[in-house]
Amino acid sequence: MRAESEAVTWARGEFGDAELGDRRRTMRLVRMLARATEKPSGKLSEVFSCAKELDGAYDFVESDKLSVAGLEKAVGLSCARACAAQPARVRVAIDGSSLTLTTGPTSKDFGPIGNVGKGCHGLKVITSLALTAEGVPLGLLSQSWWARPKGGKRSLKQCKRERMRKKPHEKETGRWLDNIATSAARLETAGALGWFQLDREADAWSMLVALADTGHWFTVRSAWNRVLADSPGRKEYLRPRMATVGVLGIYDLDVVGGWKRQARRARMVVRVARVTLLLREKMNGKRPRPLAVTVVWTCEEGTTPPGEKPLDWMLLTNAPVESFQAATDVIDGYAMRWRIEEFHRSWKSGACNVEDTQLRSRDAVIRWATILAVVAVRVERLKRLSREEPERSASDELSAVEIEVLIGLKRRYKKRTEDVPDGTPTMAQATRWIADIGGYTGKSSGGPPGSITIGRGLERLRNGVEAVLALRQRD
């Protein structure tokens, strides 16, 4: 999103220290990231228009000498350095996804996404996205990739039986555990403090224990009505216990209308209690392990429309919660987990369209997808800055020539009633103008610009910048 020399400078900051076995390979990576930032696309042929650059890009992603792990590590360490520069504890949203890729006769090590019992062996990934305390993306702390193994078709009952026999590290759960451990280690090495945010799939004994052992804070949405270890005499469960807890505070939440959901102003009631969960490891016969957590339960009361379920988040955390403000901080932090869903949309089918790739080997897809993931974070960062820090100067993210071209393009396509000032715009103004030249009208949703229109606008902006720079060089 900067002029070419500045794009290379930024890309060097991301990947300049990558240990890829050869300095020339590292510089190739830097140039590829800079070019992908200027014109993101899942297809290499749409990013690299020069035949020489395109051949070099194919050689890079398909090279057996390029370590996938080294590339991922370079991204994670760069993000950890950005986390260390934050004045407050960073939020780390962790979630899994999968790439729906076109396969062909030469695709040997990945295939369609689906039930492994039906022979599917799709390409899957778990990502840790670091965010500022305000929810602005900082980068990717860790990504764990794998393809489900090929095998004969099995029934769901057989798959479940095999899964129950395995230990956590022998299942796909192990990928989550590795991602958590890697993210925590990189934060610790950089001297940063994290607050992990995970959805209900993390409410498993192995993952809760792993999160507690990192030394960082965590928030996990409860999925199970767990047995409590601190109930005298009789077995007691989590939800009945929380129902007896007094109300700590009440707040209003504006709910946006959607599929089978009415727009409304919900009345949210907050209850907080300190409990000890009894985590049961079912298959290995070990004694249940107690884990002390604070439960923050926010539930809608009195405003739920007929036929709808009330909003209900029961959150497990090890963060200190000593006031209503601290409880709402836990709730707001968990709400930021949705940022990783936005990143996935921008990466997979929005600005970057990684799923359009036609590469035929797993490692090649992962290498190119990792580069595009860094670009997607950058698009999401621009979008989020325009919302969280709207008055921030656009010069913090855009170069002088980009701002000059953006103002010129906006003036050309502006409405009659619009006024485009000469000075440097704010982040909110610049992002809206970029989205406008990318086709944003605001009529379909009425919401702020998203990653797709921002991505289109950035591509048109980059074309204009290239034209201006070419004319100036000729002069």
* CATH label of the domain that carries residue 407: 1.10.740.10
pLDDT confidence bin for 168, thresholds 50/70/90:
low
Is 50 exceeded by the pLDDT of residue 2?
no
Is 53 within a domain?
yes
What's the burial of 426, exposed, middle or buried (CB within 10 Å: 0-12/13-18/19+)? middle
* Contact call for residues 339 and 345 (beta carbons, < 8 A): no
pLDDT confidence bin for 362, thresholds 50/70/90:
confident
Is 363 within a domain?
yes
pLDDT confidence bin for 67, thresholds 50/70/90:
confident
Same domain, 234 and 327: yes
Domain extent, residue 46, equals 4-67+352-374
Is 91 within a domain?
no
Same domain, 327 and 357: no
Is 450 within a domain?
yes
Is 50 exceeded by the pLDDT of residue 132?
yes
- The per-residue pLDDT for 161 is 55
Sign of CA dihedral 420, 425, 428, 432: positive
Phi-psi region for residue 174, left (φ > 0), alpha (ψ -120 to 50) or beta? alpha
- The per-residue pLDDT for 4 is 46
**CATH for 13:** 1.10.246.40
Is 263 within a domain?
yes
Global model pTM greater than 0.75? yes
Map residue 220 onto helix, strand or coil. Answer: strand
Same domain, 224 and 318: yes
Is 166 within a domain?
no
| Arithmetic mean of pLDDT over the chain | 85
Which tops the pLDDT comparison, 84 or 158?
84
Is 344 within a domain?
no
Separation of alpha carbons 65 and 239, rounded Å: 53
- The per-residue pLDDT for 466 is 77
pLDDT confidence bin for 1, thresholds 50/70/90:
very low
**CATH for 315:** 3.90.350.10
pLDDT confidence bin for 152, thresholds 50/70/90:
low
Same domain, 395 and 319: no
Count of structural domains, the chain: 3
Is 172 within a domain?
no
Which tops the pLDDT comparison, 350 or 243?
243
* Structural element, H or E, at residue 82: helix 68-84
